[in-house]
Structure 1
Amino acid sequence: MFTQAIEKILADACTPAVVRAVEQGQSPAALWQALEDSGFLELLSTEEDGGAGLALADVYPILLAFGRYALPVPAAQSIAARALLQGSGVRAPAGMLTLAGSARREADGSLCAAQVSFGLLAQFALVNLDGDLLLLDCAQAQREPAGGHGTLFATLRWPAAAVPAAIASNGEALRSFSAAIQAAAMAGAMEWLFGKTLEYCNDRVQFGKAIGKFQTVQHQLSVMAEQVAAAGVAAALAFCGSQPVPALLPAAIGKARTAMAVPLVAATAHALHGAIGVTEELDLQLYTRRLHEWRLAEGSEHYWNRIVGEALLASAPLGASEFVRTVTQSA
């Protein structure tokens, strides 16, 4: 029910034209208002706080849809922020709220958060600083674009006077949640990418038949489909469990596996689209650019694979298969 409702809103309010307009600096206020008015930002909030009180698994299809539509506002981050703030005594402020999984304090007391998702747009940021949770006003931060063409990522720097006291000590949970969100976004975007690539290969005719009928193209599509399916399973794992926040290991597996699929999936999509694949007019680049940014957000697959590897070594004498079963069963 919730997924169908959000799909309808996104189909109407988050068209490729809207995504391009936001990238070019136009205000996303109408899109954000549509999401805020629908109540979807409160999906993980408790019923006592006016939310839906959904489980993580119920929210996952919605986060997947955000990726399929290349949503250019931090709706997923705002949903997660409300879950992270539960029990802190602090309510999420109105407006676009994003997550910064790691920040550092400079020698002069200022705070720097690098490559923050939607850092160019967000009005507030929930930040992990060495395990502490801070809520900061982005209007007081210096913003520097931290990506390529059309990026909405930014490095944010707050002066010492604008850095408040910590409001909770679950900062590391914020990073796990942020990584899981990126995994869901990548899985959704890759679903869209595969569907459009398959559609193009069935429509594009060369030498008298659709290129999708050629064995070499079918082979590339099958490998692409395998990667997309594996990424979806891994991302879904991050949102299993009864807790309101993803656990570290499932989130690490989800982020690592989806990130690993990005180079092959994006490259195959561009290759099979041929010369039109590199054009700005084709919607393909709206997704492949984001996929590469999401792959690096909160750490690439190398960072998260190391966390999984260290946990595997610490679980001795369990073998790899027993370790995987333990993680999936606990999730």
Structure 2
Amino acid sequence: MRDDTSAAVDALIADLAKDRVDEPAGALPSLWPTMVELGLSTVGVDEAAGGSGGTLLDALGLARSLGHHAISSPLIEHATGHWALGKSGLGAEGLVTLALTDGDTLGPDSVCGLLHAVPWARYAQSLLLVDENRAAVVDLRSPGITIQQSVNEAGEPRDSVALHGVAATFLDRSPGTTALRNRLGALWAAALAGAVDGTYRLTRRYVSEREQFGAPLIRIPGVANHLATIKAELIQAEAALHRANAAVDQELGTDTCTASVAAARVVAARAATVTARLSHQLHGAMGITAEYPLHRYTTRLWAWRDEETSEHEWSVRLGELAGAQGEEAVWQLMTA
């Protein structure tokens, strides 16, 4: 996404978020209908497939802006689901969510199994299921489906979905598990980088304005060092994301893309962990009050660092590439 476009999108998201209030855990964000109305919900999906147009890079910029302002939404799952369905010439009404499954869930013409932590399932009309070989979509209003509600650390719906021989429509031209996983990984890396950036800015402002013994907290060497550590983590996450952006702009299903996205997700997850810990240390007791916005960021940092595929699983995937091709080859994939 070009810098001028990124700035315009960020300004729009900031305007949408300025009057928001904390919502009950499990609620569909009140901003979501507005995002749908403005066409933000399917950015990066071809207009011919029912989307708003634009590229994946545009979607990455939007995901980063939402993270920067600590905004939860079904954007990543919804837009990715529409993108995958569009590859097979299919469309869907209402909210679309998705789940990566094992090979036992998708039968010859129906689906059966128990899925955990399905994003926004209670509000979705369609569920895209993807295993290593096939993809299928089911209507979540069909008989034979039971949804047990749950939430993650950020209060976002992550429901269990039990499927009992539910009829499914199988995709003829699925983008493939690797491409879909890489797309999700890049979007979550962008959201995490944005949340780390937002947390850093909030923390820097706090330690610059809060005084102790007649001087701002940032004058204390330990405080300055912690803040610098957060900044360093942010720079590394942004650098890894920049490389992933270049890779996904070419071809999502390649080893080059997988290596770059895996690195971006691992670095962003590590940055999230460090940033959440240090920002709470620098805020002290203020950081845990409901009236102060830090919790909006740190709960999302904790929740998003393992979304769709955990940091450990991405590390394993990167290690498998290195084992198969050699460390030097993977280094070339990530930096060429």
Name the TM-score, length of structure 1 as normaliser. 0.86
The answer to whether 1:13 aligns with 2:16 is yes
Supply the AA of the counterpart residue of 1:240: A
| Contact 1:74/1:122, CA 8 A, preserved across alignment | no
Cα shift at 1:115: 1.9
- Match of 1:156, SS state, is strand
User: Percent identity of the aligned residues?
Assistant: 26
Deviation at 1:219, TM superposition (A): 0.6
- Taking the aligned partners of 2:90 and 2:157, their CA distance within structure 1 comes to 27
CA distance in 2, matches of 1:231, 1:237: 10
Letter in 2 for 1:98: T
Q: CA deviation at 1:296?
A: 1.8
| Alpha-carbon shift at residue 124 of structure 1 (Å) | 2.5
Give 2:241's aligned residue: 235
Q: C-alpha deviations, 1:189-233, integer Å up to 9, x for none?
A: 110000000000001100110001111111111111101111122
RMSD: 2.7
Moved more, 122-131 or 298-307: 122-131
Structure 1 residues 142 and 163: CA distance shift in structure 2, 3 A: farther
**In 1, Cα distance between the equivalents of 2:295 and 2:314?**
26
> Secondary structure at 2:149's aligned position in 1?
strand
1:282-322 CA distances to partner (integer Å, 9 max, x unpaired)? 21112211111111222322211111112112223x53xx6
- Aligned partner of 2:155 in structure 1 is 150
Tell me, in whole angstroms, the C-alpha distance in 1 between the residues paired with 2:286 and 2:163.
42
How many Å separate the matches in 2 of 1:163 and 1:77?
A: 19
Say which of 132, 136, 150 aligns to 2:138. 136
Deviation at 1:32, TM superposition (A): 2.1
The AA in structure 2 aligned to 1:277 is G
CA distance in 1 between partners of 2:219 and 2:209 (Å): 10
1:258 Cα deviation after fit: 0.8
Range moving further from structure 2, 289-298 or 158-167: 158-167
What does residue 323 of structure 1 align with? Answer: 330
Distance 1:183 1:116, change over 3 A: farther
Q: State the 1:270 CA deviation.
A: 0.4
Is the contact made by 1:120 and 1:145 (CA closer than 8 Å) also made in structure 2? no
Q: 1:194 aligns with which of 188, 197, 200?
A: 200
Cα distance in 1 between the residues matched to 2:95 and 2:8: 21
**Alignment partners' CA distance in 2, 1:16 and 1:158:** 39
* Cα 1:304/1:158, change in 2 over 3 Å: same
The amino acid across from 2:162 in the alignment is: R
Between the aligned partners of 2:154 and 2:54, the Cα distance in structure 1 is 36
The equivalent residue for 1:272 is 282
Cα distance change on mapping 1:114 and 1:237 into 2, 3 Å: farther
Give distance in 2, aligned partners of 1:110 and 1:38. 36
Residue of structure 2 in register with 1:305 after alignment = 315
| Pair 1:43 & 2:43 matched | yes
CA–CA separation in structure 1 for the residues paired with 2:227 and 2:115: 38
Q: Return the TM-score normalized by structure 2.
A: 0.84
SS at match of 2:274: helix
Q: Which residue of 2 aligns with 1:70?
A: 70
1:294 corresponds in structure 2 to 304
Q: Which runs of 5+ in 1 are unaligned?
A: none
Alignment of 1:140-179 (within 5 A): 140-148=145-153, 150-169=155-174, 170-179=176-185
